[in-house]
Amino acid sequence: MAEYRSKVLIIGSGPAGYTAGIYAARAGLAPLLISGSEVGGQLTSSPEIENYPGFNQSSSTLELMDIMQKQAMHFGVKIINDTIVETDFQHRPFECVSANHNIFLAHSVIIATGSSAKWLDISSETKFRGHGISACATCDGFFYRNQDVAVIGGGNSAAEEAVYLTNFAHSVTLIHRRDTLRADKILQDKLRKNPKITIKYNSVVEEFIGEDDPLLLQALKIRNIKNDKTETISAAGAFVAVGHQPNTRLFEGQLQLDAKGYITTAPDSCATSIEGVFAAGDVKDPIFRQAIIAAGSGAQAAIEAGRFLQH
Ligand code: NAP
Protein backbone atom coordinates (compact mmCIF):
# COMPACT_ATOMS: atom_id res chain seq x y z
CA MET A 1 0.00 0.00 0.00
CA ALA A 2 1.31 3.42 -0.97
CA GLU A 3 0.05 6.97 -1.30
CA TYR A 4 0.60 8.75 -4.61
CA ARG A 5 0.04 12.44 -5.27
CA SER A 6 -0.26 13.98 -8.72
CA LYS A 7 -1.64 16.99 -10.52
CA VAL A 8 -3.44 14.75 -12.98
CA LEU A 9 -4.60 11.18 -12.45
CA ILE A 10 -5.69 9.29 -15.57
CA ILE A 11 -7.83 6.21 -15.14
CA GLY A 12 -7.66 3.83 -18.10
CA SER A 13 -5.13 2.71 -20.70
CA GLY A 14 -7.03 2.78 -23.99
CA PRO A 15 -6.48 5.37 -26.75
CA ALA A 16 -8.17 8.06 -24.62
CA GLY A 17 -6.06 7.37 -21.54
CA TYR A 18 -2.70 7.19 -23.31
CA THR A 19 -3.40 10.27 -25.42
CA ALA A 20 -4.48 12.19 -22.32
CA GLY A 21 -1.20 11.06 -20.76
CA ILE A 22 0.91 12.20 -23.73
CA TYR A 23 -0.74 15.63 -23.77
CA ALA A 24 -0.65 16.10 -19.99
CA ALA A 25 2.99 15.01 -19.78
CA ARG A 26 4.04 17.33 -22.60
CA ALA A 27 2.24 20.14 -20.76
CA GLY A 28 4.46 19.50 -17.73
CA LEU A 29 1.68 18.04 -15.58
CA ALA A 30 3.53 14.80 -14.69
CA PRO A 31 0.45 12.59 -14.94
CA LEU A 32 -0.05 9.25 -13.28
CA LEU A 33 -1.94 6.70 -15.35
CA ILE A 34 -3.65 3.71 -13.77
CA SER A 35 -3.93 1.04 -16.44
CA GLY A 36 -6.94 -0.96 -15.20
CA SER A 37 -7.18 -4.70 -15.69
CA GLU A 38 -7.46 -4.58 -19.50
CA VAL A 39 -4.16 -2.94 -20.46
CA GLY A 40 -4.53 -1.27 -23.84
CA GLY A 41 -8.29 -1.13 -23.45
CA GLN A 42 -11.13 -2.65 -25.38
CA LEU A 43 -9.52 -2.00 -28.77
CA THR A 44 -7.15 -4.89 -28.12
CA SER A 45 -10.09 -7.30 -28.31
CA SER A 46 -10.35 -6.47 -32.02
CA PRO A 47 -7.56 -8.10 -34.01
CA GLU A 48 -6.75 -5.39 -36.49
CA ILE A 49 -7.46 -1.77 -37.20
CA GLU A 50 -7.50 -0.18 -40.63
CA ASN A 51 -9.03 3.21 -39.97
CA TYR A 52 -6.55 4.70 -37.52
CA PRO A 53 -4.77 7.47 -39.46
CA GLY A 54 -1.05 7.17 -39.93
CA PHE A 55 -0.93 3.58 -41.13
CA ASN A 56 -1.28 2.63 -44.78
CA GLN A 57 -2.16 -0.97 -44.07
CA SER A 58 -3.95 -3.02 -41.41
CA SER A 59 -2.27 -2.77 -38.04
CA SER A 60 -2.42 -5.05 -35.07
CA THR A 61 -4.37 -3.33 -32.29
CA LEU A 62 -1.98 -4.79 -29.70
CA GLU A 63 0.91 -3.20 -31.56
CA LEU A 64 -0.91 0.14 -31.84
CA MET A 65 -1.60 0.21 -28.11
CA ASP A 66 1.96 -0.84 -27.35
CA ILE A 67 3.24 2.10 -29.42
CA MET A 68 0.88 4.48 -27.59
CA GLN A 69 2.07 3.16 -24.23
CA LYS A 70 5.73 3.60 -25.20
CA GLN A 71 5.01 7.11 -26.50
CA ALA A 72 3.32 8.01 -23.20
CA MET A 73 6.24 6.62 -21.19
CA HIS A 74 8.72 8.44 -23.42
CA PHE A 75 7.16 11.74 -22.38
CA GLY A 76 7.24 10.78 -18.70
CA VAL A 77 3.76 9.41 -17.99
CA LYS A 78 4.07 7.20 -14.92
CA ILE A 79 2.01 4.07 -15.57
CA ILE A 80 0.86 1.92 -12.68
CA ASN A 81 -0.71 -1.49 -13.34
CA ASP A 82 -3.55 -1.36 -10.86
CA THR A 83 -7.33 -0.88 -10.90
CA ILE A 84 -9.24 1.94 -9.23
CA VAL A 85 -12.07 0.51 -7.15
CA GLU A 86 -13.25 3.54 -5.18
CA THR A 87 -13.41 7.26 -5.87
CA ASP A 88 -14.22 10.29 -3.78
CA PHE A 89 -14.76 13.42 -5.85
CA GLN A 90 -16.47 15.40 -3.08
CA HIS A 91 -13.35 17.30 -2.03
CA ARG A 92 -9.98 18.24 -3.51
CA PRO A 93 -7.53 16.71 -3.87
CA PHE A 94 -9.74 13.97 -5.27
CA GLU A 95 -9.10 10.57 -3.77
CA CYS A 96 -9.05 7.23 -5.57
CA VAL A 97 -8.36 3.87 -3.98
CA SER A 98 -7.07 0.88 -5.95
CA ALA A 99 -7.52 -2.87 -5.84
CA ASN A 100 -3.97 -3.09 -4.46
CA HIS A 101 -4.99 -0.71 -1.63
CA ASN A 102 -2.97 2.20 -3.01
CA ILE A 103 -4.33 5.70 -2.49
CA PHE A 104 -4.11 8.26 -5.27
CA LEU A 105 -4.63 11.94 -4.47
CA ALA A 106 -4.97 14.20 -7.49
CA HIS A 107 -5.96 17.78 -8.24
CA SER A 108 -7.68 16.68 -11.40
CA VAL A 109 -8.83 13.34 -12.74
CA ILE A 110 -9.32 12.17 -16.32
CA ILE A 111 -11.63 9.18 -16.57
CA ALA A 112 -10.90 7.02 -19.61
CA THR A 113 -12.31 3.69 -18.45
CA GLY A 114 -13.98 2.92 -21.78
CA SER A 115 -16.70 0.35 -22.17
CA SER A 116 -16.97 -3.45 -21.95
CA ALA A 117 -18.44 -6.23 -24.03
CA LYS A 118 -22.09 -7.16 -23.46
CA TRP A 119 -23.28 -10.75 -23.26
CA LEU A 120 -26.50 -12.43 -24.34
CA ASP A 121 -27.28 -13.37 -20.75
CA ILE A 122 -28.73 -16.81 -21.32
CA SER A 123 -27.86 -19.53 -18.81
CA SER A 124 -26.05 -21.83 -21.24
CA GLU A 125 -23.86 -18.87 -22.24
CA THR A 126 -22.72 -18.44 -18.65
CA LYS A 127 -22.02 -22.17 -18.48
CA PHE A 128 -19.76 -22.26 -21.55
CA ARG A 129 -18.05 -18.87 -21.15
CA GLY A 130 -14.35 -19.64 -21.28
CA HIS A 131 -15.14 -23.15 -22.54
CA GLY A 132 -15.95 -22.29 -26.13
CA ILE A 133 -17.70 -18.93 -25.68
CA SER A 134 -15.62 -15.78 -25.89
CA ALA A 135 -16.00 -12.06 -26.55
CA CYS A 136 -12.56 -11.76 -28.07
CA ALA A 137 -11.60 -13.35 -31.37
CA THR A 138 -8.09 -11.92 -31.12
CA CYS A 139 -7.54 -13.65 -27.82
CA ASP A 140 -9.22 -16.96 -28.55
CA GLY A 141 -9.66 -17.38 -32.33
CA PHE A 142 -6.39 -19.24 -32.64
CA PHE A 143 -7.81 -22.14 -30.60
CA TYR A 144 -10.36 -22.95 -33.32
CA ARG A 145 -8.03 -23.86 -36.17
CA ASN A 146 -9.95 -25.86 -38.80
CA GLN A 147 -13.10 -25.93 -36.66
CA ASP A 148 -16.58 -24.48 -37.14
CA VAL A 149 -17.26 -21.29 -35.20
CA ALA A 150 -20.11 -18.81 -34.83
CA VAL A 151 -20.22 -15.06 -34.25
CA ILE A 152 -23.27 -13.38 -32.77
CA GLY A 153 -24.07 -9.76 -33.68
CA GLY A 154 -24.47 -7.54 -36.71
CA GLY A 155 -22.22 -4.54 -35.98
CA ASN A 156 -18.64 -3.70 -36.94
CA SER A 157 -17.20 -5.85 -34.18
CA ALA A 158 -19.16 -8.93 -35.27
CA ALA A 159 -18.21 -8.39 -38.92
CA GLU A 160 -14.52 -7.87 -38.13
CA GLU A 161 -14.41 -10.88 -35.84
CA ALA A 162 -16.10 -13.08 -38.43
CA VAL A 163 -13.60 -12.08 -41.13
CA TYR A 164 -10.66 -12.46 -38.75
CA LEU A 165 -11.80 -15.91 -37.65
CA THR A 166 -11.69 -17.17 -41.24
CA ASN A 167 -7.89 -17.06 -40.84
CA PHE A 168 -8.19 -20.04 -38.53
CA ALA A 169 -11.61 -21.63 -38.68
CA HIS A 170 -13.03 -24.07 -41.17
CA SER A 171 -16.31 -22.14 -41.30
CA VAL A 172 -17.84 -19.09 -39.64
CA THR A 173 -21.58 -18.62 -39.16
CA LEU A 174 -22.64 -15.07 -38.38
CA ILE A 175 -25.92 -14.99 -36.46
CA HIS A 176 -27.80 -11.71 -36.53
CA ARG A 177 -31.20 -10.94 -35.06
CA ARG A 178 -32.32 -8.62 -37.87
CA ASP A 179 -32.50 -8.78 -41.66
CA THR A 180 -29.85 -6.10 -42.18
CA LEU A 181 -26.41 -5.67 -40.70
CA ARG A 182 -25.37 -2.59 -38.80
CA ALA A 183 -21.71 -3.02 -39.86
CA ASP A 184 -20.06 -0.53 -42.26
CA LYS A 185 -20.58 -1.32 -45.94
CA ILE A 186 -16.90 -2.11 -46.51
CA LEU A 187 -17.06 -4.75 -43.79
CA GLN A 188 -20.34 -6.14 -45.09
CA ASP A 189 -18.71 -6.54 -48.50
CA LYS A 190 -15.80 -8.41 -46.91
CA LEU A 191 -18.24 -10.73 -45.15
CA ARG A 192 -20.21 -11.51 -48.28
CA LYS A 193 -17.12 -12.08 -50.40
CA ASN A 194 -15.64 -14.57 -47.96
CA PRO A 195 -16.60 -18.14 -48.93
CA LYS A 196 -16.06 -19.39 -45.38
CA ILE A 197 -18.78 -17.12 -43.96
CA THR A 198 -22.50 -17.89 -43.83
CA ILE A 199 -24.90 -15.27 -42.49
CA LYS A 200 -28.04 -16.34 -40.64
CA TYR A 201 -30.36 -13.34 -40.56
CA ASN A 202 -33.39 -12.89 -38.27
CA SER A 203 -31.87 -15.45 -35.95
CA VAL A 204 -31.28 -15.61 -32.23
CA VAL A 205 -29.36 -18.07 -30.10
CA GLU A 206 -31.69 -20.13 -27.95
CA GLU A 207 -29.10 -22.37 -26.40
CA PHE A 208 -25.42 -23.18 -26.39
CA ILE A 209 -25.00 -26.95 -26.42
CA GLY A 210 -22.01 -29.04 -25.45
CA GLU A 211 -20.39 -31.59 -23.20
CA ASP A 212 -20.45 -31.24 -19.45
CA ASP A 213 -17.31 -33.04 -18.38
CA PRO A 214 -15.10 -31.45 -19.45
CA LEU A 215 -17.15 -28.40 -20.42
CA LEU A 216 -16.87 -28.08 -24.18
CA LEU A 217 -19.09 -26.18 -26.61
CA GLN A 218 -20.23 -28.20 -29.62
CA ALA A 219 -23.26 -26.50 -31.17
CA LEU A 220 -25.74 -23.64 -31.06
CA LYS A 221 -29.49 -23.98 -31.23
CA ILE A 222 -30.75 -20.96 -33.15
CA ARG A 223 -34.29 -19.82 -33.90
CA ASN A 224 -35.44 -17.84 -36.91
CA ILE A 225 -37.70 -15.19 -35.43
CA LYS A 226 -39.62 -14.72 -38.70
CA ASN A 227 -40.76 -18.33 -39.16
CA ASP A 228 -40.05 -19.67 -35.65
CA LYS A 229 -38.02 -22.57 -37.06
CA THR A 230 -35.09 -23.81 -34.99
CA GLU A 231 -31.91 -25.45 -36.17
CA THR A 232 -28.72 -26.66 -34.56
CA ILE A 233 -25.46 -25.53 -36.06
CA SER A 234 -22.11 -27.08 -35.27
CA ALA A 235 -19.70 -24.72 -33.49
CA ALA A 236 -16.71 -25.44 -31.30
CA GLY A 237 -16.37 -21.73 -30.61
CA ALA A 238 -18.87 -18.89 -30.32
CA PHE A 239 -17.88 -15.25 -30.26
CA VAL A 240 -20.41 -12.87 -28.78
CA ALA A 241 -20.13 -9.39 -30.33
CA VAL A 242 -23.35 -7.63 -29.34
CA GLY A 243 -22.07 -4.27 -28.22
CA HIS A 244 -20.74 -2.67 -25.13
CA GLN A 245 -21.62 -0.93 -21.88
CA PRO A 246 -19.71 1.96 -20.33
CA ASN A 247 -17.44 1.18 -17.40
CA THR A 248 -18.98 3.68 -15.04
CA ARG A 249 -20.30 1.67 -12.10
CA LEU A 250 -17.47 3.14 -10.05
CA PHE A 251 -18.81 6.64 -10.63
CA GLU A 252 -22.49 6.04 -9.86
CA GLY A 253 -23.63 8.60 -7.32
CA GLN A 254 -20.43 10.62 -7.84
CA LEU A 255 -20.87 11.96 -11.36
CA GLN A 256 -23.86 12.65 -13.56
CA LEU A 257 -24.49 9.71 -15.91
CA ASP A 258 -27.01 9.43 -18.75
CA ALA A 259 -29.79 6.84 -18.96
CA LYS A 260 -27.41 4.25 -20.46
CA GLY A 261 -24.74 4.91 -17.84
CA TYR A 262 -22.38 7.03 -19.98
CA ILE A 263 -20.73 9.98 -18.21
CA THR A 264 -22.44 13.24 -19.08
CA THR A 265 -20.09 16.00 -20.19
CA ALA A 266 -20.64 19.67 -20.98
CA PRO A 267 -21.22 20.48 -24.69
CA ASP A 268 -17.97 20.49 -26.70
CA SER A 269 -16.07 19.60 -23.55
CA CYS A 270 -14.85 16.69 -21.44
CA ALA A 271 -15.91 18.45 -18.22
CA THR A 272 -18.11 16.25 -16.03
CA SER A 273 -20.58 17.36 -13.39
CA ILE A 274 -17.66 17.78 -10.93
CA GLU A 275 -15.22 20.60 -11.63
CA GLY A 276 -11.73 19.18 -12.16
CA VAL A 277 -12.98 15.73 -13.19
CA PHE A 278 -12.93 15.06 -16.94
CA ALA A 279 -14.15 12.13 -19.01
CA ALA A 280 -12.63 11.04 -22.31
CA GLY A 281 -13.33 8.38 -24.91
CA ASP A 282 -15.94 5.64 -24.98
CA VAL A 283 -16.93 6.14 -21.35
CA LYS A 284 -18.70 9.33 -22.46
CA ASP A 285 -19.44 8.43 -26.08
CA PRO A 286 -22.44 6.20 -26.81
CA ILE A 287 -22.50 7.24 -30.47
CA PHE A 288 -19.16 7.07 -32.28
CA ARG A 289 -16.99 4.78 -30.11
CA GLN A 290 -13.97 4.95 -32.39
CA ALA A 291 -10.35 4.67 -31.31
CA ILE A 292 -9.42 7.86 -33.15
CA ILE A 293 -12.28 9.77 -31.52
CA ALA A 294 -11.32 8.41 -28.12
CA ALA A 295 -7.73 9.54 -28.71
CA GLY A 296 -8.90 13.04 -29.72
CA SER A 297 -11.11 13.15 -26.68
CA GLY A 298 -8.14 12.20 -24.46
CA ALA A 299 -6.16 15.10 -25.89
CA GLN A 300 -9.08 17.45 -25.23
CA ALA A 301 -9.47 16.23 -21.64
CA ALA A 302 -5.76 16.80 -20.94
CA ILE A 303 -5.88 20.32 -22.38
CA GLU A 304 -8.97 21.08 -20.29
CA ALA A 305 -7.35 19.62 -17.17
CA GLY A 306 -4.28 21.82 -17.77
CA ARG A 307 -6.46 24.92 -18.07
CA PHE A 308 -8.38 23.96 -14.95
CA LEU A 309 -5.14 23.53 -12.96
CA GLN A 310 -3.91 26.99 -14.02
CA HIS A 311 -6.82 28.69 -12.28
P1 NAP B 1 -22.84 -2.24 -32.09
O2 NAP B 1 -22.49 -1.42 -33.26
O3 NAP B 1 -23.67 -1.67 -31.01
O4 NAP B 1 -23.52 -3.58 -32.64
C5 NAP B 1 -24.02 -4.54 -31.76
C6 NAP B 1 -24.72 -5.59 -32.58
O7 NAP B 1 -25.17 -6.62 -31.71
C8 NAP B 1 -25.95 -5.05 -33.33
O9 NAP B 1 -26.01 -5.62 -34.60
C10 NAP B 1 -27.09 -5.52 -32.44
O11 NAP B 1 -28.26 -5.83 -33.16
C12 NAP B 1 -26.57 -6.81 -31.87
N13 NAP B 1 -27.13 -7.10 -30.54
C14 NAP B 1 -27.20 -6.29 -29.46
N15 NAP B 1 -27.75 -6.93 -28.41
C16 NAP B 1 -28.05 -8.17 -28.85
C17 NAP B 1 -28.64 -9.30 -28.25
N18 NAP B 1 -29.03 -9.29 -26.96
N19 NAP B 1 -28.83 -10.41 -29.00
C20 NAP B 1 -28.42 -10.44 -30.28
N21 NAP B 1 -27.85 -9.41 -30.92
C22 NAP B 1 -27.67 -8.28 -30.21
O23 NAP B 1 -21.53 -2.77 -31.33
P24 NAP B 1 -20.08 -3.13 -31.90
O25 NAP B 1 -20.14 -3.87 -33.16
O26 NAP B 1 -19.37 -3.71 -30.74
O27 NAP B 1 -19.43 -1.71 -32.21
C28 NAP B 1 -19.39 -0.72 -31.18
C29 NAP B 1 -18.86 0.57 -31.78
O30 NAP B 1 -17.48 0.40 -32.13
C31 NAP B 1 -19.60 0.95 -33.03
O32 NAP B 1 -19.74 2.35 -33.08
C33 NAP B 1 -18.69 0.47 -34.13
O34 NAP B 1 -18.83 1.21 -35.32
C35 NAP B 1 -17.32 0.67 -33.51
N36 NAP B 1 -16.37 -0.28 -34.09
C37 NAP B 1 -15.68 0.15 -35.17
C38 NAP B 1 -14.78 -0.70 -35.76
C39 NAP B 1 -14.06 -0.18 -36.97
O40 NAP B 1 -14.42 0.88 -37.47
N41 NAP B 1 -13.06 -0.85 -37.46
C42 NAP B 1 -14.60 -1.99 -35.28
C43 NAP B 1 -15.33 -2.43 -34.19
C44 NAP B 1 -16.23 -1.54 -33.60
P45 NAP B 1 -29.14 -4.68 -33.88
O46 NAP B 1 -28.37 -4.32 -35.13
O47 NAP B 1 -30.42 -5.38 -34.13
O48 NAP B 1 -29.25 -3.58 -32.90
Looking at the chain, the whole-number percentage of residues with pLDDT higher than 70 is: 99
Catalytic residue (one of 82, 96, 140, 285): 140
Q: How far is the CA of 193 from the centre of ligand 1 (A)?
A: 20
Q: Is 139 a catalytic residue?
A: yes
The reply to whether CATH 3.50.50.60 applies to domain 3-116+244-310 is yes
Write out pLDDT tens, residues 182-207.
999 999 999 999 999 999 999 999 99
Q: Is the pLDDT of residue 139 over 80?
A: no
Architecture of the domain delimited by 119-240: 3-Layer(bba) Sandwich (3.50)
Q: Is 96 a catalytic residue?
A: no
Contact 177, 204 (CB under 8 A): yes
Q: Which residues line ligand 1 (CB under 6 A)?
A: 46, 51, 120, 152-158, 160, 177-178, 182, 241-244, 289-290
Q: What is the pLDDT of residue 46?
A: 66
Q: Is 270 a catalytic residue?
A: no
Q: What is the pLDDT of residue 186?
A: 96
Q: Which helix (H) or strand (E) holds 307?
A: helix 291-310
pLDDT bucket at 44, cuts 50 / 70 / 90 = confident
Write out pLDDT tens, residues 158-168.
999 999 999 99
> For ligand 1, atom 19, which residue shows the shortest CA distance?
120
Catalogue the E-assigned strands of the chain.
Answer: 3-11, 32-34, 48-49, 59-60, 78-80, 84-88, 94-98, 103-111, 115-117, 133-134, 148-152, 171-175, 197-200, 203-212, 215-224, 230-234, 237-240, 244-246, 277-279
Q: What is the pLDDT of residue 288?
A: 84
Question: Best substitution site from 61, 115, 177 to test ligand 1's pocket, by max atoms within 8 Å of Cβ?
Answer: 177
Q: Is the pLDDT of residue 67 over 70?
A: yes
* Same fold across 3-116+244-310 and 119-240: yes
Mean pLDDT of 229-239: 98
Catalytic residue (one of 139, 179, 189, 258): 139
Q: Where are the domains of the chain?
A: 3-116+244-310, 119-240
Q: Is the pLDDT of residue 58 over 90?
A: no
